[in-house]
């Protein structure tokens, strides 16, 4: 009867398990070592935010390291909730029109304001899509209705109702796939 060496087979299996474990560890380190991603790919730029000018809220930009503060909107109505376009050239925001809040875009350096919505209900929370071809926002369904999520083109038009329920949907934010 021939003798078999079980120790050799066991050692080979143990070596294979160690190799697979090292490979998984290396893959985990490589995946976890990648840089953090910004809202949009590219070099970090300025920060857009809303603050009071003493009379109402306005949209401002500032360098990430501080300094270079710029008043982007300068009017007598409240402007809030800025969202940069992927190119960084425009900012979408909610602005008060004297009756309710509407969605606007403006050049990141100021000027060139474009109204996207014009209705009798509050619209807010704009968020550019990663492609820059759509803006998602929350808007009220009728004067007493609940809030829903809509999309619209950055130049206006093409409004699309994404949600249609009675739960009140707010603050959309685009992801990438």
Q: Which residues contact 79 (CB under 8 A, 6 or more apart)?
A: 50, 56, 57, 58, 59, 73, 93, 94, 95, 96, 104
pTM of the model: 0.75
14-18, 48-52, 151-155: which range is least confident on average?
Answer: 14-18
What ranges do the domains of the chain cover?
1-34, 47-161
> Where does the pLDDT of residue 3 fall: very low under 50, low under 70, confident under 90, or very high at 90 and above?
low
Cα-to-chain-centroid distance, residue 153: 16
User: How many whole angstroms separate alpha carbon 108 and alpha carbon 166?
Assistant: 35
Pairing relation of β-strands 135-140 and 123-128? antiparallel
The token pair that represents 177 in the structure block: 């796939």
User: What percent of the chain shows pLDDT beyond 90?
Assistant: 64
Q: Is the pLDDT of residue 175 over 90?
A: no
Torsion sign, CA atoms 175, 81, 70, 76: positive
First to last CA, the chain: 62
Min mean pLDDT across 18-22, 131-135, 145-149 is at: 18-22
Indicate whether 5 pLDDT > 60. Answer: no
Mean of the per-residue pLDDT values of the chain: 83
The owner of tokens 């875009």 is 105
To the nearest 10°, the Cα dihedral for 122, 124, 129, 133? 40
What are phi and psi for residue 159, nearest 5 degrees? -60, 135
Pull the structure tokens for residue 36. Answer: 């953090």
CATH class of 47-161: mainly beta
Strand partners, 93: 104
**Predicted confidence (pLDDT) per residue in 37-81, tens digit:** 445 666 778 999 999 999 999 999 999 999 999 999 999 999 999
Q: Is residue 123 classed as helix, strand or coil in its secondary structure?
A: strand
């Amino acid at each position: 009867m021939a003798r078999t060496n079980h120790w050799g087979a066991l050692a080979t299996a143990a070596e294979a398990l160690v190799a697979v474990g090292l490979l998984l560890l290396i893959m985990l380190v490589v995946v976890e070592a990648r840089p953090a991603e910004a809202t949009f790919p590219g070099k970090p730029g300025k920060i857009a935010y809303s603050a009071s000018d003493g009379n109402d809220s306005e949209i401002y930009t500032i360098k990430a390291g501080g300094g270079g503060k710029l008043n982007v909107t300068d009017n007598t109505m409240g402007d809030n909730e800025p969202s940069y376009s992927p190119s960084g050239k425009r900012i979408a925001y909610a602005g008060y029109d004297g009756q309710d809040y509407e969605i606007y875009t403006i050049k990141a350096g100021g000027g060139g304001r474009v109204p996207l919505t014009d209705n009798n209900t509050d619209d807010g929370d704009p968020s550019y899509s990663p492609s820059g071809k759509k803006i998602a926002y929350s808007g009220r369904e009728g004067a007493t209705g609940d809030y829903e999520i809509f999309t619209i083109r950055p130049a206006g038009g093409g409004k699309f109702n994404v949600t249609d329920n009675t739960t009140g949907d707010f603050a959309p934010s685009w992801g990438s796939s």
